[in-house]
Chain A
């Protein structure tokens, strides 16, 4: 009887601890949202939402501040697009090679190396873009300014290749062999089988991989803070300096903005915008991942 009781208490205690640790992540997420909302609410009391969303200039630290978020959004989208133009095709072809072509042993070597790309500290990538890639690009594009969107965009693309390739490859490997055999039995080549049957079969997983890559690119800070120039600039020209939402937040946080001022609150307004952008992509990604499980 006594042993049964102690066992019950022990089990109960463990369950409570496990529950609390699970709860903590939920609690932290909710706190972040609450703080973000509270502080940006303070911001929007002073700056009308319409000005924030439609203003074409972002100069909160000037004597005559302007609070239009568009230049930061355009900077974020510009660099993200460049990164995706690099990462999606390279990541997908790498995944096709790893899943359909690479002999087992070679794959065991290539995959960890590829994943190492994600382990390099982003600050290293930042200086790599600024001090290595930009000077090289300037030799081909004389108009390229020292700080620009192009170089950090490309580097960021390389950085997120493993996120794209790893999840895509998992999705392609999950395609059952008898689907591939069906294609081979029709006289298809390896390439035809990979592109006409395996990729469409793994579509939702590959789409989820793309979404993860996009979220990662939007949220990336260090590379752009170092190499993009830190100048809010409403432009689609990758040769000019730009600033992203994340880079702005870093720049202002590092300065000596007094607590409670409107300048201080811009951090949270920008953070809220960023949060909503990544949230949308994560929800899409979550929905796609759920669909992939239903496929087989």
Chain B
């Protein structure tokens, strides 16, 4: 089977003001696979992830160089001509800490659709149910959709945030250390969910937990000091890394 690319990062440089945080990054993103970004704190993995949905545009003095090409329409999503809101309409994100809105469970999931001007009750009902089922939360909340999202446990809140991100049929789903605020049981559920979701959507996940990367991802990129040191199939990275730095990191000798 020919590998199909969902996105391609070409010569990406990123600057916080004068500080260069990402250097000459080249990376293919495989369609309907999970790509993991790993590396020690401060290596730029979250910065890199936040380029995909233009989160850096929310703050002043940030600057991108290079290209992130989104397939199949071949547009560069970090070009200044590209509206960041357009990008975020297609590429969703799940954050480190669950961040539900102060609304009902239903309205949290419907948020992205409402923002896009969808207001038909039948459409919303259907999408909300489908997304909650997709995030394996439906059975737990179907009888209390009008309860406040804060009533849910941390793990449930994070799955709610995943449902919220799924509701708009994103082309890529970004996960920024999605389990770092969760207990082991909730973490396991999220990991199973990620593996499940790749049948429908391309996933990029940042994690500081190497076992997690090994468990959920198909491809892994190891980053260090703003650069990609090594990129390969996950099992190769973890069994036979070709770079010494990668080997030292995954065997726990630094980071």
Q: Which residues of A contact B (CB under 8 A)?
A: 176, 178-189, 192, 196-197, 200-201, 203
Contacts and interface: CB of A to CB of B under 8 A. Distances in A.
A186 B111 contact: yes
Contacts of A188: 85, 111, 115
Interface stretch (B93-101, B136-144, B199-207): B93-101
Given A178-B95, A187-B112, A200 B88 contact: no
Interface string B161-191: 1001100100000000000000000000000
A188 B164 CA distance: 13
B113 to A, nearest CB: 9
Interface of B: 53, 55, 58, 85-86, 88-89, 92-93, 95-97, 99-103, 111-112, 114-116, 161, 164-165, 168
Nearest to B92: A185
Contacts of A189: 85, 115
Nearest to B93: A185
B238 to A, nearest CB: 30
A186 B92 contact: yes
Contacts of A176: 99
A189 B111 CA distance: 12
Given A189-B85, A196-B111, A183 B101 contact: yes
| Interface SS of chain A | helix
B16 to A, nearest CB: 16
B89 to A, nearest CB: 4
Contacts of B161: 182
Nearest to B107: A196
A187 B116 contact: yes
Contacts of B116: 187
A201 B115 contact: no
Nearest to B99: A182
Contact of A182 (B85, B89, B101, B168): B101
Given A179-B101, A183-B101, A187-B116, 8 more contacts: A182-B164, A184-B55, A185-B95, A186-B168, A189-B85, A192-B115, A196-B101, A196-B111
Given A178-B95, A192-B115, A196-B111, A184 B101 contact: no
B148 to A, nearest CB: 11
A197 B101 contact: yes
B102 A186 contact: no
A192 to B, nearest CB: 6
Nearest to A186: B112
Contact of A185 (B86, B88, B100): B88
17 contacts: A176-B99, A178-B96, A181-B55, A181-B99, A182-B164, A183-B111, A185-B55, A185-B95, A186-B165, A186-B168, A187-B86, A187-B89, A187-B168, A197-B102, A200-B101, A200-B103, A201-B102
Contacts of A183: 101, 111
A196 B107 CA distance: 11
Question: Top 10 A-B pairs ranked by shortest CB distance?
Answer: A187-B89, A182-B99, A186-B112, A185-B93, A187-B88, A188-B115, A200-B102, A178-B99, A201-B102, A197-B101
Contacts of A179: 99, 101
A272 B58 CA distance: 52
Contacts of B92: 185-186
A173 to B, nearest CB: 15
B101 A178 contact: no
Given A184-B55, A185-B55, A186-B112, A178 B97 contact: yes
A187 B169 CA distance: 12
B115 A185 contact: no
A184 B164 contact: no
Residue from the set B101, B161, B165 with the largest chain A CB neighbour count within 10 Å: B101
A186 B115 contact: yes
